[in-house]
Structure 1
Amino acid sequence: MAGPMDSVGRAAKANMLLIVECGHCYHVGRFRANDVAKVVGWNKPLETIRFRCKRCSRTNTMVKTQFIDQDHPPKGYIWVLQKFKL
């Protein structure tokens, strides 16, 4: 048991996905918690992370966590952090 997911770092340590749903148009995005933690910080509480909806550009989003089952990966696109070369 991983315990309560109160920060991005705890979710990343448990190898979880962040499921972000727009409260206006109900568009859903999936992000690996490890990638989000690299961007916003490891101690950032889940309820304070601000995502912008890709469809309607609103910031009224709700964040949930989901375990990644290696045998049955979730359907849909998972956003992955890309490293750029300069």
Structure 2
Amino acid sequence: MAGAMDSVGRAAKANMLLIVECGHCYHVGRFRANDVAQVVGWNKPLEAIRFRCKRCSRKDTTVRTQFIDQDHPPKGYIWVLQKFKL
């Protein structure tokens, strides 16, 4: 058991997904915790991360974690951090 996921860094170390759901239109996005940690910081609490809904542009979102099962990956699209070259 990985314990309580209180920060993005702990979820990233456990190789988890962050499931973000909009409280207004119920749109769901899936992000790898490792990618989110690189952007917002490893010590950021999950409840302090503010996502903006892609569909309705509101910030009324809830974040929960989900383990990634390598044998049965989750259905749906997982957003991945893109590396750009200059």
The TM-score, its normalising length taken from structure 1, stands at 1.00
Q: CA deviation at 1:8?
A: 0.0
**How far, CA to CA, are the matches of 1:56 and 1:83 in structure 2?**
26
The offset of 1:62, in angstroms, is 0.1
Taking only the aligned residue pairs, the percentage that are identical comes to 92
Post-superposition Cα deviations, 1:29-53, rounded to whole Å, max 9, x if no partner, equal 0000000000000000000000000
Q: Deviations over 1:38-82 (max 9, x none)?
A: 000000000000000000000000000000000000000000001
Report the alpha carbon displacement of residue 19 of structure 1 after superposing the two structures with TM. Answer: 0.1
Distance 1:58 1:20 in 2: 12
Spell out structure 1 runs of 4+ moving beyond 4 A.
none
* Aligned equivalents of 1:14, 1:30: Cα separation in 2: 16
**Residues 1:65 and 2:77 are matched in the alignment:** no
CA distance in 1, matches of 2:81, 2:56: 22
1:63 aligned counterpart, secondary structure = strand
Runs of 5+ consecutive residues of structure 1 not aligned to the other structure:
none
Following the alignment from structure 1 to structure 2, what is the Cα–Cα distance between the partners of residues 13 and 74? 19
- Aligned residue pairs: how many? 86
Three-state SS of the structure 2 residue aligned to 1:74 is coil
Structure-2-length-normalised TM-score: 1.00
Alignment partners' CA distance in 2, 1:85 and 1:75: 30
